Amino acid sequence: MKRMTMIEAIRSAHDVAMEKDEKVVVFGEDVGFFGGVFRCTAGLQEKYGKSRCFDTPISELGIVGTAVGMAAYGLKPVVEIQFADYFYPAYDQIASEAARLRYRSAGQFTCPLVIRMPTGGGIFGGQTHSQSPEALFTHVAGLKTVIPSNPIDAKGLLLAAIEDPDPVIFLEPKRLYNGPFDGHHDRPVTSWKKQEESDVDEGYYTIPLGKARIVQQGSDITILAYGTMVHVAQAAAKQANIDAEIIDLRTLLPLDTKTIEGSVKKTGRCVVVHEATKTSGFGAELCAIVQELCFYHLEAPIARITGWDTPYPHAQEWDYFPGPKRLAKALLNTMETK
């Protein structure tokens, strides 16, 4: 075991996977020589050579298109899109090629591809470095979508994604890269200072895709969260003094509906929280699933706490985020509804 931040855990997952399987190749913008803008691939090119860890031109379409071809012919590419905001030129390759390859070839070809993307805000990156586009991937049949909330899960889920025979979108919350931020604050606190690490196994292990984690047991209300919002949910529940059951979804697709159903039927109340914009966000899908599975057990309407329906506001970044105060208020309102 070793104390690691999420960055270090992701780097360790790459290292373990590349050592275990020579078919694993890593590439993207500044991924090789520099080790990635967030240093998630630092040292890999030096250890494994330029044929297995290399830099690419500034072309997201080209990066993913090349990776799809590699995957179809037996390699296991792990590519980095420098920021999730940059994936749009590659969306056709992701949705029309990677996601459909198994089906359109009747299983003759598969696409064991992982596309890593730093996601979300918290670094004052503005409109083009802070988006949370997970809903655009969960809408595409054939893709898996993963978003970890801590270093242990980040490594285990990434290794599971690399082993998966189908394409996986792996979203990494930037606010958690250097350790969980202080979730009790509604304003930035030492965003880039290493704060908290986790004991992570230095060897090989996987965490199954499609299995949620119950962060804390509770009987009053269920909070469905993922990524950075898991930490906000913990802070908000404590602030509101509510016995909340907090579920870290970890994988949005495939989604662990059994854990969700069991929790909501027990508590009778549910609040969904995510950083992305509200309209057509993944929270809407979660609300629909809870409604379908738990309608007769609900004692109050399902609440959604999300980012604003606006282009990402640089100057008002920490008001845009669902913070502990806003979430705590929603928890109390939901508890008071009869």
Residue in 129, 139, 184, 314 annotated catalytic: 129
19 with 53: CB under 8 angstroms? no
Helix locations, 75-188, DSSP H: 91-92, 101-104, 134-138, 151-163
**Which of 36, 282, 252 has the alpha carbon at shortest distance from 157?**
252
**Which of 80, 73, 27 has the alpha carbon at shortest distance from 54?**
27
CA angle (330, 332, 334) in 5-degree steps? 70
Question: 165: how many CB neighbours lie within 10 A of its CB?
Answer: 12
Q: Where are the beta strands (DSSP E) in the chain?
A: 2-4, 24-28, 53-55, 76-80, 114-119, 144-146, 168-173, 198-200, 213-216, 221-225, 244-248, 251-253, 270-277, 303-307
Known catalytic residue: 185? no
CA angle (284, 300, 137) in 5-degree steps? 10
**Residue listed under structure tokens 């990066």:** 63
The residues pairing with 28 across neighbouring beta strands, listed in sequence order, are 55, 80
Q: Is 127 left (phi over 0), alpha (psi -120 to 50) or beta?
A: alpha
294 with 279: CB under 8 angstroms? no
| Helix, strand and coil in the chain, % to nearest 5 | 40, 20, 45
Residues with active-site annotation? 129
